[in-house]
Amino acid sequence: MRKWPSFVVALLVSSITFAQNKSASPQASLKDAYKDCFMVGAALNPAQFTGEDQAEDAIIESQFNTISPENVLKWAIIHPSPDAYNFSPADKYVEFGEQNHMFIIGHNLVWHSQVPKWVFEDDKGNPVSRDVLLGRMRDHIMNVVGRYKGRIKGWDVVNEALNDDGTLRQSQWLKIIGDDYIEKAFRFAHEVDPEAQLYYNDYSLENEAKRRGALELVKKLKAKGVAITGVGLQDHVSLEWPTTDQIDATITEFGKLGVKVMITELDVDVLPSASHTADVSYKAASDPKLNPYPNGLPDAVQQALARRYADLFGTYAKHCGLVTRVTFWGVTDKNSWKNNWPIPGRTNYPLLFDRNAKPKPAFDAVIQLAPKHGS
């Protein structure tokens, strides 16, 4: 495992000047640059894995060695009604990953969002019993994980089960099954594919209270012998939050519990904050003051974004081997969810590639910081 002393990271960061308005080396590749440290990936949408978006495919194939599905494996899409599975988009996603020899992630099995109402209700619209819901969860996991057994290598088994204060979210899963629903989901997934890596995935785990809750959860699962491989820190971050010290401490603390850490949904929001929560159900009203860069990102902000990305990758690379994967939540700024959340129709700049699929100064910054850049 490579550990970089923090002064080396600081020196590297301070010595970097980020190219402005100039393309990064077309040969530079994130996956090669970080190959001794962690895998680098992106979340994909159907236009990318069906070959419709060739500009983005060129980036995906040259830059990434792992992929996540932005939406197609979510319950509402893959299992919209009790007896109907819509496997076709997910099949294409998995085929794309195999054709490109990528480590394929499944996202996700049990979440409070994007689950159809029928899952929790009987035919009269009343809540189902614990046993019925456990049966539905088990069938879903058996069918979905079973279909891609040996092909999808790692699953976000439970997504976003915690509140900001570290307590368990009052989801339908919790209300109907009780707090062992998390353990059950992991046990079902392990039963059907014992070789698959299994993760707990959440946002804002860098904040003290929520992190404590997640650490307790992982401890309890491990004490019960549940097969949890790792924790996903989503890292939907801003230019200021969380600090790299918070990220560093979070990675270290999960590492002490004997689980791997993955950065699973990385992006950096450069727009004024319109929300105090990262909950996907939150919506805010449109306001031009909250959309200040509709025609392009000023150089000063472009530079701040590059410095932020350098700091983030410096922090992740301090934990090579413990951090096993860094996945961006999208490929280019054009399709990022950040353009539509929490306010629809904003122009955001959260990723390393711009709206024309060109690398940004932040891309250069990340490459320059890597142990093997440009190879």
Binding site for ligand G3I (CB under 6 A): 70-71, 74, 113-114, 159, 234, 265, 280, 337, 341
CB of 159 to ligand G3I, least distance (A): 6
E strands, 239-310, in order: 260-269
According to DSSP, residue 333 is labeled G
Query: Between residues 100 and 113, which has the closer beta carbon with respect to ligand G3I?
Result: 113
Contacts of 88 (CB under 8 A, 6+ apart): none
CB of 294 to ligand G3I, least distance (A): 21
Q: How far is CA 71 from CA 43, 78, 128, 215, in A?
A: 9, 9, 26, 27
Which residue has the closest beta carbon to ligand G3I? Answer: 337
CB of 340 to ligand G3I, least distance (A): 8
Query: Between residues 250 and 368, which has the closer beta carbon with respect to ligand G3I?
Result: 250
Q: How far is CA 63 from CA 29, 166, 352, in A?
A: 5, 36, 11
Query: Between residues 2 and 283, which has the closer beta carbon with respect to ligand G3I?
Result: 283
Strand, coil or helix: 67: strand
- Residues forming beta bridges with residue 267, ordered by sequence position: 236
Query: Between residues 32 and 265, which has the closer beta carbon with respect to ligand G3I?
Result: 265
CB of 113 to ligand G3I, least distance (A): 6
Query: Between residues 103 and 341, which has the closer beta carbon with respect to ligand G3I?
Result: 341
Pick the catalytic residue: 56, 70, 206, 265? 265
CB of 75 to ligand G3I, least distance (A): 10
Does residue 98 have an active-site annotation? no
Query: Between residues 318 and 338, which has the closer beta carbon with respect to ligand G3I?
Result: 338
Query: Between residues 23 and 277, which has the closer beta carbon with respect to ligand G3I?
Result: 277
According to DSSP, residue 73 is labeled T
The rounded distance, in Å, linking the Cα atoms of 218 and 220 is: 5
Pick the catalytic residue: 56, 70, 160, 206? 160
Nearest partner of 252 among 188, 316, 198, judged by Cα? 316
The full DSSP string for 273-290 is P--S---TT------GGG
At residue 68, what are phi and psi to the nearest 5 degrees? Answer: -125, 150
Are 44 and 107 within 8 A, CB to CB? no
Q: Which two tokens stand for residue 272?
A: 């004024």
Does residue 160 have an active-site annotation? yes
The rounded distance, in Å, linking the Cα atoms of 266 and 200 is: 16
Residue 299's CB: how many other CB atoms inside 10 A?
11
According to DSSP, residue 208 is labeled H
CB of 163 to ligand G3I, least distance (A): 15
CB of 149 to ligand G3I, least distance (A): 22
According to DSSP, residue 121 is labeled B
The rounded distance, in Å, linking the Cα atoms of 247 and 106 is: 24
Residues forming the active site: 160, 265
